[in-house]
Structure 1
Amino acid sequence: GSTLSGFTLKNSPFRTFSILNSEKTTISGLMLDSSAGDGTAKNTDGFDLSRNDGVTITGNKIYNQDDCLAMQSSTNTVFSNNYCSGGHGISIGSLGGDSVTSSDTVSGLTVTGNSIINSVNGIRIKTIIGLKGLVSNVKYTNNKLSNVKNAIVIHSDYSKSKGGYTGSATSEVAIQGVTISGLSGTATNLYDVVANAMWCRLDVLG
């Protein structure tokens, strides 16, 4: 395992952290500040995770214009007590592959105690049309929103080639065992959902 803590990164031109094939990694107490790019910058994700196990990201501050967290695939991840401002929220996706393999699976994700401020989305799951995969055993607990457009977003209609939603939920990524509880704060819309009921199972509690 490895540990990163206690430093600042400013004005990332692209994704700040792309974490691949890591085990038992902890990232804490960082300041990721790309706020100078407001209005023009794109793809300034805070943390992108692919094919990892046992990553913990806690107590960081992220100012950007894209996903605070983007889970491409990984297992047993904790994202806790982070401050996310200005971007697209905390995301799973875009997710999907030719088959249900470890490379297109997000399982055992805990998202808890985070603050999402001045963002397009709060919590988002985005899967790719025509492709397969699995999202399972995901828990969102006690996260806070402020000035967010869409609190809970699930889209199974994302096109990578077009770079946007199609309106037709043809992704075959199964979404199951996802629980949202203790979500509070302010958002313009509670839900933005385009999903196929055959593939999506979500529980939203008080």
Structure 2
Amino acid sequence: MKKMITLIMLTFVMMICLVACGDDDTQDVDKNNEQEESNLEGEGQKDDDIDEKSETTDDEETSNVGFDVESDDQLDLGIGDTGTFDTTLGTYEVTLVSAKLEDNIDGASSELDRFILLDLTVKNTSDEEQKVEDLLHSLEVTDYLDGSGFSDASEHFDSIEKMSGVIAPGEEMSGQFVTFVYDADEYYFRKDPGNVAAGSSNQVIWLIKASEIEN
């Protein structure tokens, strides 16, 4: 009788152990499944992030596509000549009517050797209105083509006929451009080379010989 009771108790204990082991295995399987699902979700999120970054990069590349300049460079213009600009702002023409060197303007001396005063006519050849200040902003004078130049300073002088405002399509505006220069035999009126190198415009250069300049 005692042996029978002992056998029943052992059997009962073994059943409990088997059930417990089964529960542990089930929990392990559930944990593994949850981990795999989490990993898959994470990989899916990474793929989404990569796709979003790719789309952003594609958009940026599209927005940075270079501007196609259709007009040729004009590198040997002189006083009286008209230069044609093809830029991201639109198309326009600039005529260098005359040039003059000044020692003083409105009682002020040049920050360099002298002032150079240019009479210009700007014509809007595009289909939309253009601010003349934007068109003149990247123009400069230098006595050394490989060096930097000096931009318009007409806004600082009351006696200078500064150009400002909007030019309608087909219309033109005349005024003056003034800046500082060193004494030199030749000067160059041009588009800022950095602007040209960026692909936003063709290059236009006027050669101004000191012998041709009014004093």
The normalised TM-score by structure 1 is: 0.21
Question: What TM-score do you get using the length of structure 2 for normalisation?
Answer: 0.20
**Larger strand fraction of residues:** 1
- Which has the greater radius of gyration? 2
Higher relative contact order (CA 8 A, sep 6+): 2
More helix by share: 2
